[in-house]
Amino acid sequence: MTIKNLVKIGLVFTAIALAPALSLPVSAAGMTGQLRDTYFPSIKGVTPEAGPCYLRADVGYSLSNSPDAAGIRQSTFDDSWLAEVGGGCGSVSRGLRADLLFGFRGDRDFSGVAQSGFGPANTPLTTSLSSYTLMLNAYYDFGRIRGFVPYLGAGVGAAFHTVDDVSVAGGRAEGGDSTAFAWALMAGLGYQVSDRALLDLGYRYIDMGSADSGGSATSARRIELDGISAHEFKLGLRYHFGQSSRCCDYESLK
C-alpha cells in the first residue's frame, strides 16, 4: 500500500470520526455554569453559545532527535515544519476531551558516513524522510486560570513514512514506504480569543517508530532508521460549534 493511499485512508477515518460532531445543530443555546467559565470566560457584550465539540488546525516546528541507523556513523537529521487538522469533543464537567488529528511533517534530510554495506568504508550517504501521522489524543483540562486553560494529554496512532532514494558514492539505492506505531505526550495552554475560538499553544514529544528504505531485508543497500522522535511546538486554533446540550451542561450534572 502506497503513502498516497494511506493518506486517503487517513482522511476518510478523520471524516468518519468527525461525522457525529458535524451532525450537531449549529443553532446555539447559551452555555451556563462551568462549561462557560472553563472554556469561554466572559467577554463584555458577548454571550458564548458554542458547544463542547470543535474543529482544529495547527502549525508548528518539529525538533528532530537523530534516529539510529545500523552501520552508519556521524549521522545528522534535520528539523522540519508540521501541520495538522482534525476535530474532537469533550465532557467539560469532567475536564476530559479527545480529538483525532491528521498531520504532515516536511522532508527531513538525513546524512551520515556508512561503514559497511554501501560500498567502500567511510562512504558518504544522504537521503530524506517525510512522515504523515494519524493520532487519537486524550486530554485533561485543569480549568480556567486568568483566562488560560492548562492541559496535559497523551496520544496513540500510526506514522506513515517515506524514505527517499539513498544517495551513495557511485549511485543511488531505492527508497521506500513504511508504517509504524506512534505515541505522544503533550502539555499546553488554551486561551479564548472569541466566543467560539481558542488559541492553543502546545508542546508534544512524539515517537514515530522506525522507517525502512526499499529493497529486500537482505539488501546490502537497505537503510533502517530506528527511534524517529521529536520535540514539537505547535500553535493552533480550536473552533467550537454546535449547541450546549444537557448531556454536557455542568449545571445539569450537579
Single out the residue of 230, 238, 237, 240 nearest to residue 82, CA to CA.
230
- Cα–Cα dist 54/211, whole Å: 33
Per-residue model confidence (pLDDT) at position 192: 84
Whole-number Å distance between alpha carbons of 98 and 19: 15
Element containing residue 32 per DSSP (H, E): none
Residue 55's identity, in one-letter code, is L
Q: Which residue segment(s) compose the domain that 181 sits in?
A: 3-253
Are the CB atoms for 149 and 187 separated by under 8 Å? no
User: What would the grid cell of residue 65 be?
Assistant: 532527535
**3-class DSSP assignment, residue 110:** strand
Q: How many of the other CB atoms lie within 10 Å of CB of 101?
A: 23
pLDDT number for residue 220: 55
Residue showing cell 478523520: 14
Distance (Å, whole) CA 81 – CA 185: 19
The identity of residue 96, as a single letter, is L
List, in order, residues 6 or more apart from 5 with CB less than 8 Å away.
none
Other beta carbons within 10 angstroms of residue 191's beta carbon come to: 15
Give CA–CA dist 178/1, Å, rounded.
9
Residue 220, SS3? coil
What pLDDT is recorded for position 43?
A: 34
Distance in angstroms (rounded) separating the CA atoms of residues 181 and 192: 34
* Cα–Cα distance, 5 to 18 (Å, whole number): 20
Distance CA 228, CA 230 (A): 7
Which residues make beta-bridge pairs with 187? Answer: 152, 203
Q: Nearest Cα to 230, choosing from 212, 202, 211, 207? A: 207
pLDDT of 176 reads: 87
Number of structural domains (the chain) is 1
3-state secondary structure 122-138: CEEEEEEEEEEEEEEEE
Backbone angles phi, psi at 252, to 5 degrees: -80, -10
Which CATH number fits the domain that encloses residue 152?
2.40.160.20
pLDDT in tens, the chain (254 residues): 454 554 444 555 444 444 444 444 333 333 334 444 544 443 332 234 567 899 999 999 999 998 888 778 888 899 999 999 999 998 766 789 999 999 999 999 998 888 766 666 778 888 899 999 999 999 999 877 777 889 999 999 999 999 998 888 767 778 889 999 999 999 999 998 888 889 999 999 999 999 988 654 445 567 888 999 999 999 999 998 876 543 333 333 33
